[in-house]
Copies of this chain bind each other. A is one copy, B any other.
């Protein structure tokens, strides 16, 4: 892919969302494609994290990224420039992705078998957490400047996450971020959540996230 393909999404019918989400998940499982839903606040570093991570995986696995935004193609261009396939969804003002949007993106990507598709959801900690988009796993990024109290204010996001990436740890000294308080807040919402501290900018600890992704990829693409 060289140019950003923009999809203006059609109106979604919410009543069918959960049924469609399950259908998408089952079909992708059969096809041995892993679908991840990446969520965060605006500016937490979703795109930078994807670039620093996926460039380490792209020669071994077939990967595509679906960017969702109200407007602009900034993020899809950044992903494409890094040599990774990407398409851009424009959500028509909506503050979250849903299963209908996922389906539209999958229709666009249908030409080739993918090992991994990552949905970069809208920058938002509330609405995004309320909709099943058909993903196998949910990842959320919390950047250090946002503060350690976010699990207290945004319960659903942290209840449904499988992996919390704490980004911008290179700027830790500039902010009052209490790691143990943060972990306590996360585990109160979700005792099973995995937490990985990274800096997408410097690359620090990115390999731990790469390993997590590869482990999940092996699980989902091998076996019956």
Contacts and interface: CB of A to CB of B under 8 A. Distances in A.
Interface residues of A, number: 34
Given A69-B153, A127-B126, A152-B74, A95 B93 contact: no
Give the number of copies in the complex.
2
Given A95-B95, A145-B168, A174-B170, A41 B123 contact: yes
Nearest to A171: B174
Contacts of A61: none
25 contacts: A41-B123, A41-B146, A42-B146, A42-B154, A43-B146, A43-B147, A69-B153, A70-B153, A71-B154, A72-B152, A72-B153, A74-B149, A74-B152, A74-B153, A93-B126, A93-B156, A94-B126, A95-B95, A95-B124, A122-B126, A124-B124, A124-B126, A126-B127, A145-B145, A174-B174
